């Protein structure tokens, strides 16, 4: 069974460092939507989460220089499960060929 990339010890350590640095620097709002970040409660729409500036799928790394802290809502819109669903939908639409309604034979 495959392990989630975000479930690894490496990611958990990098995540903790990035969140600690952002909180220590006094970041109080999401840089994308300006909503207030709730540092005291996780899994809320305004909870802070690390986000890849260059997405992992496009060759981005887990290095702190490629990460920023945004709200959970914006992070979900950019990637993750919701973002992946959008990517798959776009791929399905791109692979759908129009049907030629003209018959290829004559009566």
| Most confident listed range (22-36, 44-58, 83-97) | 22-36
* CB-based burial, 64-81: b 16+ in 10 Å, e otherwise: eebbbbbbbbbbeeebee
Which pair of structure tokens corresponds to residue 85? 């669903």
pLDDT of residue 28 exceeding 90, the answer is yes
The whole-model pTM stands at: 0.70
Average pLDDT over residues 14-39: 97
Q: How far apart are alpha carbons 22 and 103 in whole angstroms?
A: 63
Domain regions of the chain by residue span: 10-92
**DSSP letter, residue 36:** B
Note the pLDDT of residue 102: 67
pLDDT of residue 98 exceeding 60, the answer is yes
More confident residue, 57 or 24: 24
The 10 Å Cβ neighbour count of residue 22 is 19
Proportion of the chain above pLDDT 90, given as a percent: 56
């Amino acid at each position: 069974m495959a392990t989630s990339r975000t479930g690894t010890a490496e990611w958990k350590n990098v995540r903790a460092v990035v969140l600690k640095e952002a909180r220590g620097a006094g970041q109080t709002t999401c840089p994308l939507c300006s909503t207030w970040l709730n540092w005291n409660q996780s899994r809320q729409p305004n909870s802070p989460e690390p986000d890849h500036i260059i997405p992992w799928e496009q060759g981005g790394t887990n290095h702190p220089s490629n990460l920023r802290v945004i709200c959970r809502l914006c992070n979900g819109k950019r990637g993750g499960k919701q973002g992946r669903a959008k990517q798959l939908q776009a791929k399905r639409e791109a692979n759908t060929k129009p049907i030629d309604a003209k018959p290829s034979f004559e009566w």
